[in-house]
Amino acid sequence: MENMIISRYPDTIDVRAVEPLTHFFARVTFSDGSQRVINLEPYLEGPIFAPIRNNPEMFRRIFVDHGAVAWPNGADIDTDTLYYDGPPPWAETTRARANPKGL
């Protein structure tokens, strides 16, 4: 028992597969077996995403890199953002505990 490590975080979820669809939609398969069609357009903000937003062929070059969706120019979207549609629930709980007055 003394060698056991107990994690207070849930199992991590990774992206296992991604398939570009029309416009900025992609079918994303996660490591827990769930699959979702996600509109990635809201996540394509900032200069690194400009080539992806402006070139449908670049968007279609989406792939899985270390459990996240990524593109050849180095842009990526974190799995937690896609799976939880924002920060994971444990991050919100941790943040609330660290700052209980919301300051």
Q: b/e per residue, 28-51, with b = 16+ CB within 10 A?
A: bbbeeeeeeebebeebbeeeebeb
The mean of the pLDDT values for the chain is: 83
From 92, 44, 99, select the one nearest 71 (Cα to Cα). Answer: 44
pLDDT digits (tens, 9 = 90+) for 21-58: 999 999 999 999 999 999 999 999 899 999 999 999 99
Question: What was the pLDDT predicted at 95?
Answer: 44
CB-based contacts of 74, cutoff 8 Å, min separation 6? 48
pTM of the complete model? 0.74
Instruction: Map out the domains of the chain with their CATH numbers.
Output: 15-98 (3.30.2020.10)
**Closest listed residue to residue 17, CA positions, set 30, 32, 4:** 30
Question: In the numeric block, which tokens belong to residue 78?
Answer: 């974190």
